Structure 1
Amino acid sequence: MSEQTSIPADPELDPTASWATDQSVVRRLAGLLRATAGTRTTYAPATGQPVAELPLSSADDVVAAIRSARRTQRSWKGTSLADRAAILLRYHDLVLDHRHELVDLVILESGKARKQAFEEVAHVALTARYYARKATELLGPQRKLGMFPVLTRAEQRFVPKGVVGIISPWNYPLTMAMSDGLPAVLAGNAVVLKPDSQTPLTALRAVELLYEAGLPRDAWQVVNGDGPTVGGAIIQNVDYVCFTGSTKTGRLVARQAGERLIGASLELGGKNPMLVLRDADVHRAAEGAVRACFNSGGQLCVSMERLYVADQIYDAFVTAFLDRVKKLKVSAGTGWDVDMGSLISKAQLETVSRHVDDARDKGAVVLAGGKARPDLGPLFYEPTVLSGVTPEMVCFDNETFGPVVSLYRFSDESEAIERANEGEYGLNASVWTRDGRRGRAIAAQLVAGTVNVNEGYAATFGSIDTPMGGMRSSGLGRRQGVEGIRRYVDPQAIATQRVVPIAPSHGLSDQAYAEVMTTALRVLKKLGRA
């Protein structure tokens, strides 16, 4: 891809030359870990250079963290809802105040471009503010209809689960580490977090700011290590688990949680479709498709991997799309003008290469990209567009999780909807049209937990009042919105009966009581009572 540009790192913005790799900073952040089981060195994916040597947690460390979190949670749940919300509002400001540090860490540990790293800062701030402002509405006591008017007073309260375990991924090291836990602590729980072992510094700095905002230190603890050891110990000891990652691992988490009869929310894989309808603005759709497919190197659960384009505009769209793809600036640089950074690991690079090579070998046409770029860094791969992808190709219905998208024509919208709904996943989808009402009508027919009209993923991702999660093999439960906080509480019903019992009284026999009840139920129906 000779038209793509390699941008040299800006020394003023390069986190490898900043406070982020200052060993005194690393030691300070490492001190937040509960970890006694040796060390592990992390590496910057964009350069391959070492970042930090950090302590690892044992299963015993995890148990100790959960034990102390449970002790703190007993008092934390007694803190007023207003005081808890105030901590989240202070955190909102601290995250924005320290946005440059947080963005530097995200770039350093994940390899993504600065503009996409900032999305994480914005999302965490939005999440903190939303739940703080909505705290009373979402968690306050609620009056409910009693069995009998006046005689029965019914209400619902929300009891925190206890200790919530969060197992977060490397692809969104800031927002996935923090945005699930913020509503958990607001609801009166404590949190034990296991960030991905590739990206712990980002999570540690974000948690440090939460302590600065006023959260008791033991109410949110961080452990570090591999999934089987540390993640397994979390699932075996917490009261609720929140996992973001692959569908394969998600099934294992679900089985382990099910054996203990604890709740779990799982955001898993996707093979997300984008539909470009015949009346779409071609240039706007092409620009949106580039962001939807290649932001964060395509390493988003919600990124687009399948583009279905109407026959009437297919050629014009492909021309506009490829023109933009071939001009993307791919680089290890850290300035705002970089469009796409590195993949995260050798394993991810191998997966992307295998998917593209398999498709090419079986007859697919590579319209853009199609190869690794070791000249840019050890884990770079070009933004890649394929056509002619068929079911026997591995990338047809398997998640690539990289900068690869397949183009398909469609002749009518019912066909496009049917093809978009094929497969086992149902995480995110996108519809492009000049007619918003028509776009929403088509969106309602798609099997996906979120559907964006005239946007790829950011509209639902940034609308914190709406739930976000997957259908089918893309997961269980939801983050964001009312669902995103109610998952961390148990509803408790309290009903007070006045004057008469719900039983025979005043000398009524059981038979007479049944007749009185029958009459009362008929009257209540006529009065319109639920």
Structure 2
Amino acid sequence: MTLTTRPTDDPPAAQYPASVDARLIDTLRAQLPETGTVHRAVAPFTGTPLPAVSQSDAGAVAATAASARAAQERWARTPVTERAAAVRRFARALIASNDVLCDLMQWETGKARVHAAIEVQGVISVAVYYGRHGAGHLRERRATTALPGVVGARVGYRPKGLVGVIAPWNYPLFLAVGDVIPALVAGNAVLSKADSQAPLTLLLARKLAVDAGIPADVWQVVAGPGRLIGPAVIDAVDYLCFTGSTATGRDIARRCADRLIGASLELGGKNAMIVRADADVAAAATGAVQACFSNAGQMCIGIERIFVHDAVYHRFVAALVERAAAIRLGSTYTYDVDMGSLTSQRQLDATTAHVEDAVAKGATVATGGRRRPDLGPLFHEPTVLTDVTPEMAVYAEETFGPVVSVYRVANDEEAVARANEGEYGLSASVWTRDLKRGSEIAARIVAGAVNVNDGYLSAIAALDAPMGGMRTSGVGRRHGREGIVRYTEPQTVTTQRVPTGYPDRFRSLLLGAMNLSTRVRLALPHRS
């Protein structure tokens, strides 16, 4: 990435998507602190520069964080029902702005229109969910004490304070904004670090939120490369939410540990799919195409390994190849394309390197396998590999591109064992007509979410259920009650009918009462 202090012209009007103009870009950029340094990302579809965006330095991060922190106490005193109502208004604003959000996302990331639209709908759903259920998740609850009737206890959920959110380029709306929403409902202020490739999408979402009634100083955005301002963000906040690579996640975890602040980290994955002998082969192949090639494979929960029972292996591979070869690639801002471009030269190079290494070591390209410069500078065909072996990089390393490897297995035991190989544990998929058996297999897979007869979407769309990784795929969960409580500090308040400092002569009486209470509870029938 190149930073410059020189004046930089914006792209000509002809390069802007239909619903985007220079005035909107100026409005979005005005939300960032001015430092005199700018960065211009490259549009994946064309390789031409995107509008220049001001880059924050450590001083700007500290000042922005201080402003957000000063506003947080007032926001926390706002009734949670009012905070939730603002988020519901935000959801309506997102619905009304669907077209411009999709245009900006496609311009900045190169994804297909259908995947941009799914991302908009996803963050709308998060806003609706926490707008409706956030207050309930935060409601003070009564807790059992050692002396019921004598001592009462209630647990409340207090906001952390200032939450930092560092999100990646591949989902600049769903991941960046979806993690902000519950933090705001919980009463926190938020400091978001916009990814350098896709800051405008996040800035538009933030503008819509402010227009919907979320105070501008409560949710603030800085921009710049993680290596330069990431540490400053961590130093400024009380809790950090990060989505990205496992390597970066480890570094962030160490920095947060040094400050003794909490963090939730969704990291890498090499997600597996199992196709049993009794599976609906056509449905499994269709599901695999969606799970492997959505967003050009640049998806943390996407499938990169498929383990197929001997009995259906050839039929499944043939069906998968047929469907993958039929995927329509292109750079249009309409819905007549199934897969767009990779987002960066780095991702294209990584994808190409994995395919070339595998082929050089004996793998077979069943379909795809090539760059497509005729479509744009960063396009790569959906690729299916067979005959992949452990010495190939693609076997265990995350590709994060449109490449999947298919393996033959003899039975369920082998499929589960191979699905559990490696360091990751983010997402998985099982295909079978026997739902009971599918659920049993799912319970044996080391992954934070397992979808039976679906590739990936069911779990991420089940917003009342937690989503996150096991092993080196992460720590903590987004969505559901866990997704908002993570941004709070549980506080226990007890009240005693007998004041503290009671005379010594009452101690034996109270101890006897506690003993009796314990005996009664042990004698009661167990309720699971």
- What is the one-letter code of the residue matched to 2:523? K
Question: In structure 2, what is the equivalent of residue 396 of structure 1?
Answer: 395
Equivalent residue, structure 1, for 2:523: 526
Query: Contact (CA 8 Å) 1:15, 1:104: kept in 2 or not?
Result: no
Counterpart of 2:148 in 1: which secondary structure? coil
Q: 1:382 maps to which residue? A: 381
Q: Closer, same or farther in 2 for the Cα pair 1:517/1:322, shift >3 Å?
A: closer
How far apart in 1 are the matches of 2:149 and 2:19? Answer: 64
Question: Which secondary structure state, in structure 2, belongs to the residue aligned with residue 132 of structure 1?
Answer: helix
Q: Deviations over 1:164-196 (max 9, x none)?
A: 000010000111110000000000000010121
- TM-score (norm: length of structure 2): 0.95
Which residues in structure 2 correspond to 1:187-336 (within 5 Å)? 187-336=186-335
Cα separation, 2, equivalents of 1:517 and 1:404: 62
Change (3 A) 1:457 1:35: farther
CA contact (8 A) 1:34 1:221 kept: no
- In the other structure, the counterpart of 2:127 is 128
* 2:371 corresponding residue in structure 1: 372
Paired amino acid for 2:238: D
Distance 1:529 1:302, change over 3 A: closer
* Aligned residue identity for 1:84: R
Q: Please say if 1:507 is aligned against 2:508.
A: no
1:66 Cα deviation after fit? 0.6
Q: Which runs of 5+ in 1 are unaligned?
A: 1-13
**Contact 2:431 2:452 survives alignment (8 Å):** yes
Cα pair 1:151 1:500 within 8 Å, conserved: no
Q: Partner residue of 1:492?
A: 491
Looking at structure 2, the residues matched to 273 and 107 of structure 1 have their Cα atoms a distance apart, in angstroms, of 28
What is the CA-CA distance between 1:50 and the residue it aligns to?
Answer: 1.5
What is the alpha-carbon distance in structure 1 between the residues aligned to residue 175 and residue 456 of structure 2?
Answer: 15
Report the count of equivalent residues: 514
Aligned-partner Cα distance in 1 for 2:446–2:515: 44
**In 1, Cα distance between the equivalents of 2:505 and 2:17?**
86
Q: Is the 8 A contact 1:460 1:468 kept in 2?
A: yes
Amino acid at match of 1:109: E
**Aligned-residue offset at 1:519:** 4.3
Q: Which residue of 2 aligns with 1:18?
A: 18
Give the match's secondary structure for 1:148.
Answer: coil
CA offsets, 1:440-483, max 9 Å, x none?
11111100001111111110111110111100010000000111
Secondary structure of the 2:236 match is coil
**Equivalent-residue separation in structure 1 for 2:64 and 2:261 (angstroms):** 19
Distance 2:105 2:492 in 1: 43
Residue 524 (structure 1) shift: 4.3
Q: Distance in 2 between matches of 1:340 and 1:195?
A: 25
Tell me the distance in 1 between the aligned counterparts of 2:172 and 2:205. Answer: 10
CA contact (8 A) 2:242 2:263 kept: yes
Which stretch shows the higher mean deviation, 511-520 or 267-276? Answer: 511-520
Distance 2:42 2:35 in 1: 21
| Residue in structure 1 matched with residue 11 of structure 2 by the alignment | none
Question: Aligned letter for 1:223?
Answer: V
Q: Secondary structure at the match of 1:171?
A: coil
Deviation at 1:507, TM superposition (A): 2.5
Tell me the distance in 1 between the aligned counterparts of 2:326 and 2:521: 69
The letter of the residue matching 1:159 is R
Structure 1 contact 429–452 (Cα < 8 Å) conserved: yes
What's the offset of the Cα at 1:41?
1.0
| Structure 2 CA distance for aligned equivalents of residues 428 and 238 of structure 1 | 29
CA offset digits 1:409-433 (Å, max 9, x no partner): 1110011000000000000000111
CA shift, 1:15, in A, is 7.7
Structure 2 match to 1:139: 138
DSSP 3-state at the match of 1:425:
coil
CA RMSD across the alignment? 1.7
Cα shift at 1:437: 2.1
Quote the Cα distance in structure 2 between the aligned partners of 1:45 and 1:334. 13
TM-score, L = length of structure 1: 0.94
Cross-structure match for 2:344: 345
For residue 416 of structure 2, what is the amino acid of its counterpart? I
CA shift at 1:518, angstroms?
A: 3.6
Q: List alignment gaps of at least 5 residues for structure 2.
A: 1-13
Distance (whole Å) between structure 2 residues aligned to residue 499 and residue 460 of structure 1: 49
Following TM superposition, by how much is the alpha carbon of 1:137 offset from its aligned partner in structure 2, in angstroms? 1.6
Instruction: Report whether the alignment pairs 1:31 with 2:30.
Output: yes
Letter in 2 for 1:48: G
Deviations 1:221-278 (A, max 9, x none): 0101010222111001100001100000000000000000000000000000011111
| Distance in 1 separating the partners of 2:439 and 2:303 | 18
Q: CA deviation at 1:301?
A: 0.4
Contact in 1 for aligned 2:134/2:484 (Cα 8 Å): no
1:163 aligns with 2:183: no
Separation (CA, whole Å) in 2 of partners of 1:529 and 1:331:
60
Correspondence 1:478 to 2:449: no
Secondary structure of 1:218's match? coil
Residues 518 and 17 of structure 1: CA distance in aligned 2, closer, same or farther (over 3 Å): closer
Provide the C-alpha distance between the structure 1 equivalents of 2:460 and 2:514, rounded to a whole number of angstroms: 50
Amino acid at match of 2:292: C
CA distance in 1, matches of 2:118, 2:480: 19
Shift of 1:334: 2.1
Q: Which amino acid in structure 2 is aligned with residue 154 of structure 1?
A: A
Instruction: Quote the residue 1:84 is aligned against.
Output: 83
Is it true that 1:93 corresponds to 2:92 in the alignment?
A: yes
Displacement of 1:17 after TM fit? 3.8
